[in-house]
Every structure is written in structure tokens, then in C-alpha cells.
Chain A
Amino acid sequence: MEKERTRTTYPENEGDSSLLSRRQFLKGLGGGIFILFSYGEVAESQQPGTQAPVDFNAILNIREDGRVSCYTGKIEMGQGIVTSLAQMLAEELDVPLGSVDMVMGDTDLCPWDMGTFGSRSTKHFGPTLREAAAEARALLIQLAAEHLKLPENRLSTRQGAVFNKENEKNRVSYATLTKGKRIEKRLERKPSLKPVSNFTVSGKPANRKDALEKVTGKAQFTGDIRLPGMLYARILRPPAHGARLKRVDTGAAQAVKDVQVIRDGDLIAVLHSHPDKAEKALARIKSEFEVPTSEVNERTIFEHLLKVAPEGTVVQQAGDIEKGRGLAKMRLDGTYLTRYVAHAPIETHTAVVNVEKNKVTVYASTQRPFRAKEEVAEALAVPARNVRVITPYVGGGFGGKSWNRQVVEAARLSKLAARPVQVMWSREEEFFYDTFQPAAIVKISSGLDDTNRIVFWEYHVYFAGERSSQLFYDVPHILTVPHGSWSGGAGVHPFQTGTWRAPGSNSNTFGRESHIDLMAVHAGIDPLTFRLNHLKDRRMRRLLEAAAQQFGWKSLKRPISRGEGVACGDYLGTYVAVMAEVDVDKKTGKVQVKRVVICQDIGQVINPEGAKMQMEGCVMMGLGYTLSEEIHFDGGQINDRNYDTYEIPRFSGLPKIETVLIENPEMPPQGGGEPAIICTGAVIANAIYDAIGVRLFELPMTSDRIMKAMTKK
């Protein structure tokens, strides 16, 4: 594997295979100026088996007609990058926003990309895209200097043209400059960028490119793709994970007019030119499954997880934990539990695949089109170059559409049916095959000395993973040990788990920030002051202070029946501080969140409106895993299969959300699609404690759990 890597890293070598494929790749794109650039995913692209050119991840093309295209494997799933990226590009290149075409998630047109997750688009892609645009602009000025016979320093750009600063009429359009040319350039140097304060296009929400299509019903999602002769497939599913098919009788389904029944090993499907008719026919299949018995269920899950947990790896160590323990005057232990949570995007996993001779065309709701391409090639045993994956708008992903099972199903069925096939999971299938946020356990042992400072912090997390597990508070003796990651492994979870918006951090932040609050209460200190007492980190201090100001936080020792809570956290470089106010009905245990103030430092802010929309979305989604969302199950059987029993947040649960972005121009832009969700569990738990004097150690904090906790007290 190591060898593979070194072999393919030299893009400029003559005869290098990656160079050849680059040539081929660009041939299809016509003329003009091409800037090829990469954004930190190149290393990952050099793994064996990846098909794309390996030395760049995106292309900026100023076409001969002056229009501008950006080709990227990133996809739009609601985070608004189809607009924000186009805005950055238009801004830096000085072209009207309307002349920018974003070509996204098409594996034939776009170079290899790892996928859209982990808040990478803004952090890695955005800045490099701006550099590429600046480079293109410099190149255009160079060309214009020749064309206008003027030195470069007398030229400037605006609205797709280069002009003489002293005489604006003396100008030449980008189209004229690129006409009949073909210039290829790799982005090597780091050109200087426009200061954010000069932006005129970026961050204007009304400019959203996809909005008009989405409010008129014209936006195409994968399920809206229609191909001639396309069939809709419904697939026979087991009642539980791990179940084995014992007997099946498809006779009655086969008897339905125009139905095609396909069986390929365990894949049994009914195909029809109408999805509802396929569904009806599917119901006529008689099947019997053997369901393995399992001791793992909602009640035993945490015990089970602790039993199968691996040793763990130390990720943070400071001082000497035993010594710290000895110094403690008061010792406080806490165990914090989080449960399985579904992604539950309103658009279910969908794919349309057309397998033809030497060509496979795939439309997929996926966060990882290039992964889907490989999976399809493998499943059909065809060369990956024959597979093209196109990603229409994705109706929400949140980490769940990084898995492409539905794509492979549609591909296999299309091959066997020799027709284009659509697989659109039902809501029940979506809940069954989701890659849930894992149930996880955080165990913390900590101590205060006689000046009420934390002297030691021993932290173990089971199956959430390491993200956000490390302590940023100022404590002399620390030991942090994650055991197992969010993906679990064999014998861990009774079904699949995976990345869920801010993977790992939701559990880790709930544990840490609840426990810090618990310590503040025992120390008899206001939880905000207690945090600040232990914070040297200036970014975090500033954020907490900003939150306190916006919220109107009173430094009082808690609980005081006001229902106010605070929490803060970090996620891959982004800092968040949250304050919330809740009402708890003591008779029913029902929580109403009244107000949430959320402050975020995402470094340089390119698109403030976009960032705020993501923050608001995070708050709402976070209230789900905090108050109501958990998957009920019995072994491999998932008992929540629709939105009736699995309750996602609704309008009635909407608090007043106030978002504050802290300017931090010295820091490059950080991701903003996930971090604002991580504090929700703790901030609400802390607010509930303040309201009723009872602490909850388990999410979600349903009315039942709250009532139980109150009676225990």
C-alpha cells in the first residue's frame, strides 16, 4: 500500500498514468482557461483502486464564452454550498454570480472527491477555490495586458472584464481573452485574496441559486429522475438485522399483471412501472425468516457495550492522574448515556441506475458519489471507468448518506432486469438500514481541591469515538481514553452505526459539559464563572462572554428554578458556546425550550447568513436527540419505523433561536455545518437541572425519564 502511494504522487512526470488520465479528463471539457486545484484530499485519493486523476480535486474553467464553471465532487444537501461556493468564486474572479455554473457530484465531469461530510466544504474547499479564482483573475489580467498593450498594474477587473483603471472604456471581456485559447494551470502558489470586508456578492441569502427551483417544485432530487422504460423496485426485507431467509414463495406476486420478480441470492425484488403497484405485489410475497435471539436490547445495551469494549487508547495525558486523585478534596463521578439516534432525512435513500452495455449510469442521493461509483463497479464486476454517478439535489444527509446500499441494490436489479431501475427506500426501510448514531457511554471521575479548582479529570468514552473527547479546560492532571469508535465493530451493536452530524461529539460534549456543571454545583459556584475559572483559551472565553451578554446571564449559584443552562464545546477547530432557557412541567415532565442563544467562532466568516442557517438547523436537530429521539429495538429488530413513534422536532418545539457569529479574521474559515449541534444535550440538561434541581444523566430526556428522575430525588 505504501508503494502504491509513492508511485502515484508525481503528476508532472511524462508518461505518468495520472497525467494521461488528466488529459483524457480535460479533453471532454472544451476550451478556455483551466485552473486545476486540490484541497487536502489528494492523499486520500491515492489509495489503490481510486480511478480519478490523483493530483487535483477540482477544476475552475473560464469558458470561451466567458461563462465560468466549477467542477467539484462535493454535493448539495441543504448546506447551501451550491450558492456559497459560487458566490466566493464570483467574488474573487469578478464575474456576475449568474455567469457561474457549479457542476457538482458528477463522477464523469468532476475530479475525484472524498465526499461531503465533516464540514470539509467550507474549511478545505472554499479557501482553495478562492485562490484558484484569484489565480485565474491574475492570468486574465496578464492576457489583457498583452491585448490592451498596457502594463498589468494599470489594469483592474469587474463584471467579467479587464479594464484600464484610468479609462474604463478601454476594456476587454473575459470571453474575448479566452476565445480560441486553451490554458491549463495548476494552482501552485498562494495568490492574495480579497479581504472579506470588500465582499459584495457573498453571504446574501436571497441569491441562493437552488431556492427558486426548490420553491417551485422544479428542483430534481434522485427520486424525480425519470428514464424511458424505468421500473420501480420494491425489495423483500428481513424483519430484523441478522435474520436469515428460510422460505419464500413469490408465486402470488408473479401473478400480478406486468410485474417482474427478480431473485438474486438474498436480493428478492418486485419491479413494476408504477411504484405503488410494485409495493402491492411485494405484499403478496410469502416469506419466512429465521430471527436469531439476542440478549441485547434497550435495557441491556449499556451493560453489553461496557462488556465488549476494547482496552482503549490514551489520547490526552497531563500530569499524573494518581497524584491528582490524591490531591482532591471532593471526588465526583458521573456516567452519561446517549442512545441510538436516526438520521431520518425526509428524503429516503434513493437511486436510479441504468445498466447498459459498457456503460452504467447512476443517479443517487449520496454524500459520496465517488464511493458509490466504486461500489457499483465492484458489485457488477465492470471497470469503474464505465460507471458514471450523477448526484441530483440531496434531500438531507447528516452523515447518513455516506452509505450507498440502495445504489448497489438498484445496480444489481437494473442489470438483471435489463432496464433502468429506481430504488427509493420506504420510510420503514430508511429506519431499518440507517447507520445510527451509536449508543455510547461517558464515564468521568474528577475531583476538586480545597480552592474549588478541578485537580484531576479521568475520562473514558465507550463507542462514541475520540472527537471532542479531549478536555480544553485548564486542569493539571488529565487522562482521556476513548474505547472503540463510532463504527463499533463486530459484536458491538446489533445493527449498523456510523457518522451522524458531528460524529462522537454529541456524546462527548453531553458528558463533559454535564459533568462540569455538576462540579460547579458541588463547588457552589455559578457554572459560567466555574468554567471561566478553568479556561485559559482566549477564543473560548470570548465566546462564553459573548453568549452571556446576549443571553443576559446572571452569575448565580444554581439551581435557582430559572431553567437556565450553559455549555460550550469544540469540534474540529470550531468553537461553540450555548445558553438556553427551559420550562419544565413538573406534573408531566414535559420540557419546553423557550430560548437558545448560540455563539460560534468559525474563524473567518465568508457567508454569515449561511452559517446562521446551519446553526439554527443544528439547534433544532439537536433538540431531537436531546428530548425525544431514540431508536427502540430488540436485538436486530428496529421498533421505530416511521415518524409516528420516532419523534423528530416539530414547530411546537421551536425555541427563539438567537445566533451570534464571533468575528475571528486571523483564523481561516472553519466548518459550520455540524459544530452548533454538539452542546444541545448538555445545555438543556443543565437548564433542566436549574429548573427542577434534578440532573439527568441520560439522553434523550423524555418526560418519562424526567418524571422518574424526580421521584428518585
Chain B
Amino acid sequence: MNENIEFKLNHKPVQWSGDGERMLLWVLRTDLGLTGAKYGCGKGICGACTVLINKKALRSCQVPLKEIHGKEVITIEGLAQNGQLHPLQKAFIEKGALQCGFCTPGMILSAYRLLMEKPVPTEEDILQGMNDVLCRCGAHQRIVQAIQSAAIELRSPR
């Protein structure tokens, strides 16, 4: 029961054929060679597998491939464009908002969505908006700072 699924992945069209019940995380990591989205819990709890689907931050371990037909997927590998880091990526580096870096792709993409919804986030907005993304190294305080500083850069006219 192969299904043909077409979607955009990191700004390029992809045609994929296979079992549409398979979860996007594993298709990304094995079939499509993009290992930026991580496995952390497999149950939609930790957020390490977060990707953007039509600009919504979703947990790819819970998204069957058939649901992304016709949609646009962006993984951490596709966030920087034309060799330009996204302000969030820059801010994570500058603020030291990562330790082991395993949660980082999910953190950055979750923050991306948060800043779309709340371009001028309060600290409380960030704490709440990021609450379901887990970091075991305890980089939280710097992640909050990184998101705040990226928010400022995103708002400033370029």
C-alpha cells in the first residue's frame, strides 16, 4: 500500500513513495538523510524531533507522512538560507544557549514558531511557550535570553 506523497522539504520539492503511516521523524532521518531532528522520547513529550510544517512547530515523531502531502516542511538544516544563519541560530551561539546541543534543533524551531505568534514576547510568554520542550543539560536561562535577543533582531528593520 504505497502512497505517493509530495511535499516541500527545506524549500525543495520532494516526491516520496511508501507507507504513509510511517512517522515523519524516521523518514527524515533514514530515507531522506536529514538527521537534525532528534529522537528523544518517541511519544511527543520532549520536542527533540520538532520540525516546522507549514510554519507550525510539530513533533515529527507523531506525524504520519500521509499528513504532510502538499505541505511545506522545514527542518533545522533548512533554517539558514543562502549561508545566512537565522537570528535564532545566531542568538543561540552568542548567548551560549546550548550545552550538549541535542535539544537545540527542537528548541530553535519551537522558538521560531513562538516568535511568529508573539513577536514581542514577555519572559512569561517564553517560559510558557517553550515549556513542553525539554533540555536535560539545564541551558534554560540562556535559551530564554537567546530567544529574547533574537526577537529584538527579528523586529529591527534590516
User: Interface on A for B, CB 8 Å cutoff?
Assistant: 77-80, 205-206, 208, 210-221, 223-224, 226, 232, 273-276, 344-348, 393-396, 398, 424, 426-427, 609, 613, 616-621, 642-644, 648-652, 654, 657
Complex contacts, B96 vs chain A, CB 8 Å: 205, 208, 211, 609, 613
Residue of A nearest to B143 (CB): A651
Query: Nearest chain A CB to B74's CB is how many angstroms away?
Result: 11
Query: Is B126 within 8 A of A617, CB to CB?
Result: no
What sequence of 0s and 1s flags, for each residue 127-154 of chain B, a beta carbon within 8 Å of any chain A beta carbon? 1101111111111111110000000000
Q: How far is the CA of A395 from the CA of B41 in the complex (A)?
A: 14
Query: Is A427 within 8 A of B40, CB to CB?
Result: yes
What sequence of 0s and 1s flags, for each residue 76-112 of chain B, a beta carbon within 8 Å of any chain A beta carbon? 1101100001000100111110111111110010000
Query: Nearest chain B CB to A173's CB is how many angstroms away?
Result: 30
**B residues 18-71 with Cβ under 8 Å of A?**
22-23, 26, 29-31, 33-43, 45-46, 48
Q: How far is the CA of A186 from the CA of B126 in the complex (A)?
A: 52
Residue of A nearest to B26 (CB): A276
Query: Is A652 within 8 A of B127, CB to CB?
Result: yes
Q: How far is the CA of A497 from the CA of B93 in the complex (A)?
A: 35
Q: Which of A211, A217, A650 has the most CB of B within 10 A?
A: A217
Q: How far is the CA of A58 from the CA of B131 in the complex (A)?
A: 42
Query: Is B85 within 8 A of A424, CB to CB?
Result: no
Complex contacts, A226 vs chain B, CB 8 Å: 33, 35
Complex contacts, A654 vs chain B, CB 8 Å: 127, 140-141, 144
Pair count A-B, CB < 8 A: 175
Residue of B nearest to A612 (CB): B96
Q: How far is the CA of A214 from the CA of B45 in the complex (A)?
A: 21
Complex contacts, A224 vs chain B, CB 8 Å: 29, 35
What sequence of 0s and 1s flags, for each residue 1-31 of chain B, a beta carbon within 8 Å of any chain A beta carbon? 0000000000000000000001100100111
Query: Is B137 within 8 A of A652, CB to CB?
Result: no
Q: How far is the CA of A539 from the CA of B101 in the complex (A)?
A: 34
Complex contacts, B143 vs chain A, CB 8 Å: 651
Given A215, A223, A617, which contacts B138 in the complex, CB threshold below 8 Å?
A617
- Nearest 8 Cβ contacts at the A-B interface: A217-B36, A620-B138, A78-B100, A395-B102, A214-B101, A617-B138, A78-B99, A217-B76
Query: Is A344 within 8 A of B34, CB to CB?
Result: no
Complex contacts, B133 vs chain A, CB 8 Å: 651
Residue of B nearest to A616 (CB): B141
Query: Is A219 within 8 A of B136, CB to CB?
Result: no
Would A344 and B136 be within 8 Å (CB), given that A215-B85, A275-B30 are in contact? yes
Complex contacts, B23 vs chain A, CB 8 Å: 276
User: Interface on B for A, CB 8 Å cutoff?
Assistant: 22-23, 26, 29-31, 33-43, 45-46, 48, 75-77, 79-80, 85, 89, 92-96, 98-105, 108, 126-128, 130-144
Complex contacts, B48 vs chain A, CB 8 Å: 346
Given A217, A232, A396, A657, which contacts B34 in the complex, CB threshold below 8 Å?
A217
Q: How far is the CA of A345 from the CA of B134 in the complex (A)?
A: 10
Query: Is B85 within 8 A of A393, CB to CB?
Result: no
Query: Is A217 within 8 A of B75, CB to CB?
Result: yes
Can you give 15 A-B contacts (C-beta < 8 A)?
A: A78-B98, A78-B100, A205-B94, A214-B104, A216-B79, A346-B46, A347-B38, A393-B101, A394-B100, A613-B96, A613-B142, A616-B139, A617-B138, A621-B137, A643-B43
Residue of A nearest to B78 (CB): A217
Query: Is B77 within 8 A of A217, CB to CB?
Result: yes
Query: Is B45 within 8 A of A642, CB to CB?
Result: yes
Residue of B nearest to A422 (CB): B30
Q: How far is the CA of A206 from the CA of B36 in the complex (A)?
A: 22
Query: Is A617 within 8 A of B137, CB to CB?
Result: yes
Query: Is B127 within 8 A of A211, CB to CB?
Result: no
Query: Is B40 within 8 A of A215, CB to CB?
Result: no
Complex contacts, B100 vs chain A, CB 8 Å: 77-78, 345-347, 393-396
Complex contacts, B26 vs chain A, CB 8 Å: 274-276
Residue of A nearest to B44 (CB): A644
Query: Is A651 within 8 A of B127, CB to CB?
Result: yes
Complex contacts, A395 vs chain B, CB 8 Å: 38, 100-102
Complex contacts, A275 vs chain B, CB 8 Å: 26, 29-30
Query: Is B134 within 8 A of A427, CB to CB?
Result: no
Query: Nearest chain A CB to B24's CB is how many angstroms away?
Result: 10
Query: Nearest chain B CB to A404's CB is how many angstroms away?
Result: 18
Complex contacts, A396 vs chain B, CB 8 Å: 99-100, 102, 136-137
Complex contacts, B38 vs chain A, CB 8 Å: 221, 223, 346-347, 395
Query: Nearest chain B CB to A98's CB is how many angstroms away?
Result: 15
Would A643 and B45 be within 8 Å (CB), given that A210-B101, A214-B104 are in contact? yes
Q: How far is the CA of A205 from the CA of B36 in the complex (A)?
A: 23
Q: Which of B22, B96, B102, B140 has the most CB of A within 10 A?
A: B102
Q: How far is the CA of A213 from the CA of B29 in the complex (A)?
A: 17
Q: How far is the CA of A427 from the CA of B40 in the complex (A)?
A: 7
Given A217, A276, A651, A657, which contacts B126 in the complex, CB threshold below 8 Å?
A651
Q: How far is the CA of A619 from the CA of B140 in the complex (A)?
A: 10
Query: Is A642 within 8 A of B141, CB to CB?
Result: no
Q: Which of A205, A210, A651 has the most CB of B within 10 A?
A: A651
Residue of A nearest to B76 (CB): A217
Query: Nearest chain B CB to A647's CB is how many angstroms away?
Result: 10
Residue of A nearest to B34 (CB): A217
Q: How far is the CA of A619 from the CA of B139 in the complex (A)?
A: 10
Residue of B nearest to A650 (CB): B131
Complex contacts, B135 vs chain A, CB 8 Å: 346
Query: Is B139 within 8 A of A212, CB to CB?
Result: no
Query: Nearest chain A CB to B12's CB is how many angstroms away?
Result: 16
Given B35, B93, B98, which contacts A217 in the complex, CB threshold below 8 Å?
B35
Would A215 and B102 be within 8 Å (CB), given that A346-B135, A620-B138 are in contact? no
Query: Nearest chain B CB to A640's CB is how many angstroms away?
Result: 12
